[in-house]
Amino acid sequence: MGRIVNIRDLKYVVAVAEHGHFGRAADACAVGQPTLSAQLRKLEDELGVTLFERTKRSVRSTPVGEEIIAHARSLLATVTLIEETARASLDPISGPLRLGMIPTIGPYLTPFLMPSLRHGMPNVEFNLSEDMTEILERQLLDGEIDAAILATDVEDRRLVEIELFDEPFWVALPRDHALAEQDELALADIAAEELLLLEEGHCLSDQVVSFCVNAFRTNPNISTQHTSLMTILALVGADAGVTLVPAMSLRGSWVTDSGIVLRKEKSGKVGRAVRVAFRSSFPRRPLLEKLADIVCAIVPDTVTPVRR
């Protein structure tokens, strides 16, 4: 081997592994495809191994390539940590912040949060993304994002969290439903076969199922839909069933003229705890503490903030 592997080569390797395509990887790295391909060929020659199997239709990692890609991700995360540590020593409340959110929080929190963030943290450049909890946790561990707003406890000890607010679930019913005349509803009042939920894997669906199992005397026959919360609500408005919605969503435009009525859940125990999760090694915790302060200051009175 004639030289030490450089950071640029590692970025190319990880990009190809993530995109499974040299052209898309080159675009992500802001270089031409011939340049990226030539650099990776050169790296393979110098390492004496093949990192990727190339065909006309696909690019796949070899077994040794998988091991090297894992090391590359780890080294790139360390490089990012070095850069963030240096930046934090100058001003922790500045610079880029890659923030992920789950799909049942992002659309309802972001429109109210971003103006406050621009005002309260003008020197921070926010890069927002939205995905399922499992993917966001993996991205945190791989250093692809800096923090994520989640609604479940983090299980990996390398991740820590700051609590934000407790959010109850409300019952969404068709306007002419037999239970629509009641001011509050217990889950046991709802026929199990009426419930419409998101597909398994959405933490909102998992949480609602856990509450329903305790509420129904028999196993609930819950309909799971491979779709979004807004589509589930459209089905409710079309008299196709009943669902539970997080309180933050009550500020959405769907609330008016949707054929839906909303009722409080009677026990007050059906809900979720929202938090911001991040790596314990993340050097800019003061930035996330301020983010938490801002979130808690702007949430509506339908939720209970942990701090003010």
Q: What is the DSSP annotation of 81-129?
A: HHHHHHHHHH-TT-EEEEEEE-TTTHHHHHHHHHHHHHHH-TTEEEEEE
Residue 2 lies in a domain: no
Same domain, 229 and 214: yes
Same domain, 194 and 116: no
Last residue in a domain, options 60, 84, 108: 84
Same domain, 48 and 126: no
Same domain, 148 and 137: yes
> What CATH number is associated with residue 37?
1.10.10.10
Last residue in a domain, options 84, 103, 122: 84
At 262, is the secondary structure helix, strand, or coil? strand
Selection from 98, 109, 124 nearest residue 277 by Cα: 98
Selection from 84, 96, 74 nearest residue 7 by Cα: 74
The domain in which residue 23 lies consists of 7-84
Same domain, 278 and 152: yes
Query: Which pLDDT score is estimated for 1?
Result: 47
Which are the contacts of 173, defined by CB distance < 8 A and separation ≥ 6? 179, 180, 236, 242, 260, 261, 262, 263
Query: Which pLDDT score is estimated for 218?
Result: 47
Query: Which pLDDT score is estimated for 217?
Result: 45
110 pLDDT higher than 50: yes
Domain count, the chain: 3
Same domain, 156 and 11: no
Mean pLDDT of 126-146: 92
Query: Which pLDDT score is estimated for 167?
Result: 93
Mean pLDDT of 5-16: 92
At 39, is the secondary structure helix, strand, or coil? helix
Last residue in a domain, options 28, 61, 84: 84
Same domain, 41 and 179: no
Token representation of residue 28: 């992500």
Same domain, 134 and 211: no
Q: How far apart are CA 238 and CA 230, in angstroms?
A: 12
Q: How far apart are CA 63 and CA 148, in angstroms?
A: 31
Residue 130 lies in a domain: yes
Same domain, 298 and 213: no
Same domain, 181 and 253: yes
Work out the percent of the chain whose per-residue pLDDT is above 90: 46
Q: What is the pLDDT of residues 279-304, one digit of tens each?
A: 998 988 999 999 999 999 999 988 99
